[in-house]
Structure 1
Amino acid sequence: MKNVTWTGSESDALKNGVVYGSVSAVICTLGVLLNILNFLIWNRKATGVSESLLAALGVTDGLVLFSYLIFSVYFFIVSAPYADAPHSEEGMYLVIISFHAFLAFHMMSNLLTVALAVVRYCLVCYGYTKSVIDAHGCKIKVENLIILLGFLVTVLATLPFHFYYKIHEHTGNSTNHTRFWIQKTDFAENHVYEYQVPVLWLYGVVFKIIPCAVIVVLSGFMVKSVRKAKKRKHRISTVDRFAVKRISSEYNRITLMLVVIVMIYVLSEVPVAISAFISGLHRAESHFFYFLLFSTAGAIMDIITVLNATANFFIYISMCKKYRQNLRELFKL
């Protein structure tokens, strides 16, 4: 295994790690609470596909933050992120499980975000509002079908990552005590072109770059449609203009709110996609886990992902009247 260490002195690295872990823990804890609130509010009066998907997004984003909370607290506060630290086997399994959970829930959030963009695009540009599909006499809600398909795709897409890393037992450099650490499996080491590169490109291109490109295009069409709707509104008679303006303004705000959400998603995902793609290009040296753990760029991208999973509450409350109404009703304000 090629050891990767922090730059600078070990004591400075530990101090920086504690600061980073503490900041991450605060953001993740706040984000988990806010996403629970998001789920309660959107699920309270879910009358359409978009509301149900936003409620599901609150669940997955909350689980993303909870997984990263475990990961960061262990590595940066309880222990230390280097191989010679006194890691137990149980601690390393906790890290591996939280790492894979983070990838899985984050991918599920990504798929729900893409689904939100597609559903809103169909509604805005084509007026498609059907929320129930009648398949051979069996009525299936669209949102339930989307969530089920997203779950199945997530399971299949993240399954290859479970063969990438393993727990490695070794003797510490400074002591003779047994230590445990994470390294690539023998299967990954022996199948660089057949396994490592395709997995990282699958993660970086198929499930990151392509969805981002789709979202950008759909968002552009939605913004164009909203602008056309505003122009049509001015041609309506004065008698009907007030009622139409009141209804369409909220409709347009919700559309623009979803555009903001998906575009923030794009901005946060592109750096991770590029890093995964480049990691695949390095072939035998592709340690995506180590990159995220040890590099400054990896830490910044992790924080961006965490902030993205936390930010939706502030977007909802600033741009959606319905969310504010449900929030007041929930707390009887």
Structure 2
Amino acid sequence: MMTAGSGEMVHHLEELEAYIPREELASILPNLTKDQASYLLQLLPVLNNDTRFSVELPSPSAIPTDHAFCDVGFRDGYKEVHGYLALMICLVGAFTNVLNMIILTRREMINSTNTILTGLAVADFLLLMEYSFYATSYIKGQESMFDSYFHSVFILFHAHYTQVTHTIAICLTITLAVWRYIAICKPHLNLFLCTLPRARLAVCIAYVVSPILSVPNYLMYSIHQRTDKHTNTSLYHVDFSDRARASNGLLQSVHFWFYSVLIKILPCLLLTFFIYHIIRAMYTAKRRKENLIKMGTPSMETVSTQL
């Protein structure tokens, strides 16, 4: 019942039979792919030789039938086109952000709001350009490349770089929301607070502070080396660093609460707060304008009497 019926898969099945009988393997993992089989071949020898782990394979009857057949092949099929789709989106997005930067930096367009929008466009451009190289690795990369030291360094750089640029974009988005909130809800403070020098300072602070806020992410991951006993070659991968494992979960907890709550959830709540008050202020201003128009427009009876 294996979905991978190619000749390459037979080699992996024969090696896996050293650990699991083929009948049990077929019933436990009916949709095993070539990549998954390769990963199991790398993982099983490590677990088998490490006394800290005790691996007990479940019996076929212990696995629900619906769970065993939940893989409909979307992940493996989408992986083939992910690189092309991501590269196309990145190139289009980078081009449109360049247009934004050109338009917003024209002399007649320079103001505090457009300065923040320009900083946001630069951050998005940098993120999309780097991700285009990441997507290209899926198009031209071979399986052996993904276990190389060079690719592991690139993956580690990609993780840190995207975190920094994403944090910059979040900071500038919140800044822009604050700018709009002051301009609409507190117009008497707009000329004093929302000035062009302050906008430029806010953009610089976002670009300087964001790499500092990503320090826990730098400490969280590192490159690890392992040896493939079948080919006797060195393989590299990115995983939790020794510092993170030695902290007994403290660094993982700090990483989770800092990035998941402070960097992700809190900005969403702030945006919700500012957008709600901005919409409310605009609705109130619209109703006030309608009332003024009604008060200033003479009725038909008044016009007839005057005539």
1:224/1:86 CA distance change after superposition, 3 Å:
closer
1:119/1:99 CA distance change after superposition, 3 Å:
same
**CA–CA separation in structure 2 for the residues paired with 1:225 and 1:52:** 24
Instruction: Report if aligned partners of 2:115, 2:196 keep a CA contact under 8 Å in 1.
Output: no
Instruction: Report if aligned partners of 1:79, 1:87 keep a CA contact under 8 Å in 2.
Output: no
Question: Which deviates more, 199-208 or 224-233?
Answer: 224-233
2:125 counterpart residue number: 62
**CA–CA separation in structure 2 for the residues paired with 1:16 and 1:140:** 46
2:190 counterpart residue number: 129
* 1:204 and 2:260 are equivalent in the alignment: yes
Gaps of 5+ in 1: 1-6, 134-138, 242-333
For residues 62-112 of structure 1, give each alpha carbon's deviation from its aligned partner in whole angstroms, at most 9, with x where no partner exists: 1121222222322x22336x8x76532122212211221111001100110
**CA–CA separation in structure 2 for the residues paired with 1:202 and 1:71:** 26
Identity %: 23
2:288 counterpart residue number: 232
Letter in 1 for 2:276: G
* 1:43 and 2:67 are equivalent in the alignment: no
2:171 counterpart residue number: 111
Matches within 5 A, 1:1-333: 8-10=32-34, 16-44=78-106, 45-74=108-137, 76-79=138-141, 87-127=147-187, 128-130=189-191, 141-172=197-228, 175-236=231-292
Instruction: Report if aligned partners of 1:131, 1:142 keep a CA contact under 8 Å in 2.
Output: no
1:143/1:210 CA distance change after superposition, 3 Å:
same
1:173/1:125 CA distance change after superposition, 3 Å:
farther
Pairwise CA RMSD: 2.7
Secondary structure (helix, strand or coil) at the match of 1:71 reads helix
**CA–CA separation in structure 2 for the residues paired with 1:193 and 1:100:** 20
Letter in 1 for 2:256: L
- After TM superposition, the score normalised by the length of structure 2 is 0.66
Instruction: Report if aligned partners of 1:132, 1:141 keep a CA contact under 8 Å in 2.
Output: no
Letter in 2 for 1:218: F
Secondary structure (helix, strand or coil) at the match of 2:238 reads strand
Secondary structure (helix, strand or coil) at the match of 1:130 reads helix
Q: How many residues align?
A: 226
2:302 counterpart residue number: none
Instruction: Report if aligned partners of 1:46, 1:52 keep a CA contact under 8 Å in 2.
Output: no
Instruction: Report if aligned partners of 1:121, 1:221 keep a CA contact under 8 Å in 2.
Output: yes
Letter in 1 for 2:149: E
**CA–CA separation in structure 2 for the residues paired with 1:221 and 1:8:** 52
**CA–CA separation in structure 2 for the residues paired with 1:229 and 1:9:** 60
For residues 29-87 of structure 1, give each alpha carbon's deviation from its aligned partner in whole angstroms, at most 9, with x where no partner exists: 1111111111111222334221111111110011121222222322x22336x8x7653
1:8/1:51 CA distance change after superposition, 3 Å:
farther
**CA–CA separation in structure 1 for the residues paired with 2:130 and 2:123:** 10
Instruction: Report if aligned partners of 1:64, 1:106 keep a CA contact under 8 Å in 2.
Output: yes
Secondary structure (helix, strand or coil) at the match of 1:183 reads strand
Select the structure of larger CA radius of gyration: 2
1:248 counterpart residue number: none
Secondary structure (helix, strand or coil) at the match of 2:224 reads strand
Letter in 2 for 1:89: Y
